[in-house]
Amino acid sequence: MMGRRSWFVFTALLLGFAFLYVPIVSMIVYSFNESRLVTVWGGFSTKWYGQLLGDEQLLGGLWLSLRLAFVSATLAVVVGTLAAIMLVRHGRFRGRTWFSAMVTAPLVMPEVITGLSLLLVFVAFAPLPFMPGSRGFTTIMIAHATLTLSYVTVVVQSRLASMDVSLEEAAMDLGARPAKVFLVITLPLIAPAVASGWLLAFTLSVDDLVIASFTAGPDTNTLPMMIFSKVRLGVTPEINALASIMVGLVAVAVAVAGLLMARQERARERDMHAAAAQRP
């Protein structure tokens, strides 16, 4: 059944995906261009990849960004999961509306506002004990964790809400303490959501330019900050190579995750059928 309307939708999908992928594909193609002039095809070459791997400054920025993302995503997952548990399992506590608003507002807050306000709070807190005295790794890390914990909370929250409470209740009835119930029952069940929350937080942190620029110190230059200053000066083929590597890594990671999830889903369905068959 291919009516006029289906053709319209099909064309829209095709054009939409072309719009999404033409820039990325052209970037990958030109990363193998011999010529320095980005738009003239000078033959196939991998020299920009070689140059990229020799760029110590850029690699330093990459290493800093990866470390930042790892620590901030881990912190965001801990705080974000606690916030999700609180919102889903603790019912209507006092200040719930406020709390819920504070959790979701960073999702839409313009980055310049978040960046400036976090910077000003770090400056104000600097003389206090237990607070970072100067700006650098720690301040960007806290800023990123604050931004990304909202995403973690939203992802974990929807998993928790769709989860069967009776498993937790059964464990409680059998005398398990709340901490044990969480570790043995709840955590394994929400693990996929926690993992995808962590990945989301990680990518958002690696990607962030604006908030890092506000909260960075004079010698902390993250990868996006370096890319931004290079791109402002013009197009460089090296950046094409970097982008292609990132696209390749993400595509592989997403494909692997997709396959694993599909396999897990099939295994779960099989188990369910087997369990149903056991029943007298």
Partner 1 sequence: MNPGRWVVRAVPWVWLLLFFLIPFVIVLKISFAETALTQPPYTPLLEWGQSVYPTIKLHTANYLRLAGDSLYLDAFLNSLKVAAVSTLLCLLVAYPMAYGIARAERSWRNVLLLLVMLPFWTSFLLRVYAWIGLLRNNGLINNTLLALGIIREPIVMMQTDFAMYVGIVYSYLPFMILPLYANLEKHDVSLLEAAADLGCRPLRAFLQVTLPLSVPGIIAGSMLVFIPAVGEFVIPRLLGGVDSLMIGRVLWDEYFLNRDWPVASAVAISLLIFLVVPIMVFEHFQARARAAEAQ
Binding of residue 184 to partner 1 (CB under 8 A):
no
Binding of residue 191 to partner 1 (CB under 8 A):
no
Answer for which of 44, 57, 92, 93 binds partner 1 (CB under 8 A) is 93
Answer for which of 1, 44, 57, 110 binds partner 1 (CB under 8 A) is 110
Angle between helix axes 56-89 and 137-161 (nearest 10 degrees) is 40
Binding of residue 73 to partner 1 (CB under 8 A):
no
- Applying the rule CB under 8 A, the residues between 42 and 71 that interact with partner 1 are none
Q: Is 262 helix (H, G, I), strand (E, B) or coil?
A: helix
Binding of residue 189 to partner 1 (CB under 8 A):
no
Nearer to partner 1, 157 or 220 (CB): 157
Nearer to partner 1, 112 or 272 (CB): 112
Secondary structure tally for the chain: helices H, strands E: 12, 0
Answer for which of 1, 2, 5, 219 binds partner 1 (CB under 8 A) is 5
Binding of residue 39 to partner 1 (CB under 8 A):
yes
Binding of residue 151 to partner 1 (CB under 8 A):
no
Answer for which of 118, 141, 190, 201 binds partner 1 (CB under 8 A) is 118
By the 8 A CB rule, do 122 and 135 touch?
Answer: yes
Binding of residue 187 to partner 1 (CB under 8 A):
no
Binding segment for partner 1 among 51-59, 106-114, 166-174, 186-194 (CB under 8 A)?
106-114
Binding segment for partner 1 among 44-52, 66-74, 95-103, 268-276 (CB under 8 A)?
95-103
User: How many Å apart are CA 193 and CA 187, to the nearest integer?
Assistant: 10
Answer for which of 50, 54, 133, 178 binds partner 1 (CB under 8 A) is 178
Binding of residue 101 to partner 1 (CB under 8 A):
yes
Cβ-in-10-Å burial (0-12, 13-18, 19+) of 134 comes to exposed
Report the candidate in 212, 90, 120, 201 with the shortest Cα–Cα distance to residue 154.
201
- Applying the rule CB under 8 A, the residues between 199 and 228 that interact with partner 1 are 203, 206-207, 209-210, 213-214, 224, 227-228
Answer for which of 34, 47, 116, 136 binds partner 1 (CB under 8 A) is 116
Binding of residue 121 to partner 1 (CB under 8 A):
yes
Buried-state track 138-162, b at ≥16 Cβ within 10 A, e below 16: bbbbbbbbbbbbbbbbbbbbebbee
Quote the tokens at residue 56: 């110590």
Quote the tokens at residue 203: 């990518």
Binding of residue 18 to partner 1 (CB under 8 A):
no
User: How many Å apart are CA 82 and CA 157, to the nearest integer?
Assistant: 10
Buried-state track 238-276, b at ≥16 Cβ within 10 A, e below 16: bbbbbbbbeeeeeeeeeeeeeeeeeeeeeeeeeeeeeee
Binding of residue 170 to partner 1 (CB under 8 A):
no
Q: How far is the CB of 278 from partner 1 (least distance, A)?
A: 28
